[in-house]
Amino acid sequence: ICGIQHLERAGNRLTLFDSLYFCIVTFSTVGFGDVTPKIWPSKLLVVIMICVALVVLPIQFEQLAYLWMERQKSGGNYSRYRAQTEKHVVLCVSSLKIDLLMDFLNEFYAHPRLQDYYVVILCPTEMDAQVRRVLQIPMWSQRVIYLQGSALKDQDLLRAKMDNAEACFILSSRCEVDRTAADHQTILRAWAVKDFAPNCPLYVQILKPENKFHIKFADHVVCEEEFKYAMLALNCICPATSTLITLLVHTSRGQESQQSPEQWQKMYGRCSGNEVYHISLEESTFFAEYEGKSFTYASFHAHKKFGVCLIGVRKEDNKNILLNPGPRYIMSSTDICFYINITKEENSAFKKQEKHRKTHESKLSYHGASRLPVHSIIASMGTVAIDLQDTGCRGGSAATLALPAEAGREGRRPSIAPVLEVADSSSLPSCDLLSDQSEDETAPADDEVSAGLEYAKGYPPYSPYIGSSPTFCHLLHEKVPFCCLRLDKGCQHNYYEDAKAYGFKNKLIIVAAETAGNGLYNFIVPLRAYYRPKKELNPIVLLLDNPPDMHFLDAICWFPMVYYMVGSIDK
């Protein structure tokens, strides 16, 4: 407008209003022709502006139309007719980040039964550019509906048709700065949803363990801190447990790192595709032939034949899954088998094998049994790759599975002990997995008594928060005075001022943290559980930036060999 008016001072001497009128008439493609530029510079400007407008304006109009439609959709309703005829779930979040959204959608739609479900997202904030870009992809735009609203308002829950939903997921962002405030918002949302739709199954993610108590009515609660510290503790017993479980619970096609020049990265990427699947025994090609055989036999031979790892079973009339039930369990046709494999059996292709198999398999040795700390493995009973005489459950008789006689003549033991089809009660020691005693505790050695290793067994008398799962642990007969918990300062009871002075027999486990949160309690409990032999207990030192409060010290003072000191891992 200003350009036309300025240039036409040498021609028509248009006013600013005449220039405005000319631009609107021209760019709206009406073109009355009563006002026209007279000189060539102004005509050239009009030509350039028309060319620019032909490119820019359609893009702007398209974005405006899309924003208007999205605004209408996010402020609209999920159809009641659609809610009654098609299945949908509701995802409630305080703010939707792209990583949280993609994690949820990829894992939710990984299950074949959920392909026809719709996901309704209820979020109080507008979606950012990244989320908008993802939801424009046809794969998601047809199945994901974004509604802007709050789960604390009944009218917004009504818009999402929460009362007709198959489930409601209430999630928190992993990178919350104020985790307590995030949990408070989660608790309020869970209460509001339960009040509005009491029959809707509720799946809640909470960050801090002390807040679990407020949402105990939810069908499923996952506490991030509790789970994280328990995984770290298991890493101390069996390294990389957390990596194993993380890879098993995340959906992966096993295509990661296949372009890498490193062989281990290719192997890692391919094997990350392993997941847990289940199938009925009578319908399975993997396991049908093992009906009437022992679980150990089925697991061993299914792995040898198909490369699948049978880890548990569930009886038809029972909801509980039996993980590694051992050689006494006999497989039934109605059992549901749980196994780890790259792909589920229904998607596997089977090739007929030659009768004469290559003999190089028999030459492969498994030397791990002698080096593994067998008593450290929680589920050592029934593990086929470990010789049965090495497990922590020995009976009065020394009878074990006999090794082949010719092994002695060859001068070396076979790598794997034979696995019987059905457990022979005469050769298997009687063993109760839930008994309070393990091999080294039935009769304490003299040096243990002299060293004062006679711990009691029981449930910790004091928990730092309501809702912690009671675990049978090694405990002290009397609680330690708070002054003795401090590793780096002596007191009237002892004069030790560093770890070396204590003369610990086992290596220390050092935990560096800013503060002693209640989640740390879940790190200590698995490392002091009753099934851990006393002579294998590692001292635990909490290296804290800030001094712990009295409630936390009250909780840890009953555990043996748990200390703290104030300091930083940087120093």
Does residue 177 sit within a domain? yes
More confident residue, 341 or 381: 341
DSSP 8-state class, residue 340:
E
Domain's final residue, options 206, 222, 237: 206
Q: Six-digit token pair at 417?
A: 């002990």
pLDDT tens string 57-109:
888 888 888 777 766 665 567 777 777 888 999 999 998 889 999 999 999 99
Does residue 258 sit within a domain? no
Same domain, yes or no: 170 and 88:
yes
Whole-number average pLDDT of the chain = 80
Same domain, yes or no: 159 and 202:
yes
Q: What is the pLDDT of residue 492?
A: 79
Which residues are CB-contacts of 405 (< 8 A; sequence separation ≥ 6)? Answer: none
Q: Contact 233/522 with Cβ under 8 angstroms?
A: yes
**130-139, 161-170, 314-323, 403-412: the lowest-pLDDT one:** 403-412
Does residue 98 sit within a domain? yes
**273-277, 308-312, 379-383: the lowest-pLDDT one:** 379-383
pLDDT tens string 474-512:
999 988 888 888 888 888 788 888 888 888 889 999 999
pLDDT tens string 379-419:
333 333 333 333 334 333 333 444 444 444 444 555 556 67
- pTM for this prediction: 0.68
b/e map of 295-321 (b: 16 or more CB within 10 Å)?
bbbbbbbbbeebebebbbbbeeeeeee
Does residue 266 sit within a domain? no
Domain's final residue, options 341, 373, 388: 341
Does residue 226 sit within a domain? no
Q: What is the pLDDT of residue 462?
A: 84
pLDDT at 230 over 70: yes
Q: How many domains does the chain have?
A: 4
Does residue 489 sit within a domain? yes
**305-314, 440-449, 462-471, 560-569: the lowest-pLDDT one:** 440-449
Same domain, yes or no: 86 and 200:
yes
Reported confidence tier of residue 126, pLDDT bands at 50, 70, 90: confident
Q: What is the pLDDT of residue 195?
A: 95
Same domain, yes or no: 525 and 459:
yes
Same domain, yes or no: 18 and 121:
no
Does residue 175 sit within a domain? yes
Does residue 37 sit within a domain? yes
Domain's final residue, options 29, 51, 74: 74
Q: What is the pLDDT of residue 353?
A: 54
Q: What is the pLDDT of residue 63?
A: 82
Same domain, yes or no: 84 and 69:
no
Helix axes 40-74, 16-27, angle to 10 degrees: 60
**Domain range for 317:** 275-341
Same domain, yes or no: 191 and 305:
no
